Amino acid sequence: MQERKSAEKKASETVHDISENARQAAGRVQESSSRAAEGFREYQLKLLSATQANVNAMFECAHDLLQAQSMSELVDVSTAHSRHQFEMMAEQTRELASSAQKIATETTRPLASAFGSQGAQMS
């Protein structure tokens, strides 16, 4: 009889532990999803900003090309705008890559911290 009560108590504790672990895991997944959504929103805003800057640069280039008075001025304007566009796109690429890295890091942090705490519990 004592063994049965002990087994029932052990089973009840196991179910409680499983339930608690599931609740914590759901919370970590929810936190991870929230961070991902926030990160994607920030990424989209940076992408839209970069797109707007590129479109503005394109119109500025077209305007300056139309104002050119000679072939040499046309080449100078084209070269200057190409250089500026290349530098701008390099910076935009760095910013977008950094933002993507931040999304990946921030999104996985809640999940990774769970593995770290479980590893410590297993020791």
Domain range list for the chain: 2-106
Confidence of residue 2 (pLDDT cuts 50, 70, 90): confident
Residues 35/107, Cβ–Cβ less than 8 Å: yes
pLDDT higher than threshold 90 for residue 59: yes
Region 87-109: what's the mean pLDDT? 92
Local confidence band at 5 (pLDDT 50, 70, 90 cut-offs): confident
Backbone region of residue 110 per phi and psi (left: phi > 0; alpha: psi in -120 to 50; beta: other values): alpha
Q: Please name the residue that has the structure tokens 């300056």.
A: 64
Burial of 11 (0-12, 13-18, 19+ CB in 10 A): exposed
What pTM, to 2 d.p., does this model score? 0.69
Run of H or E residues at 60: helix 2-67
- Provide the sign of the torsion angle of the four alpha carbons 40, 45, 48, 54, taken in this order: negative
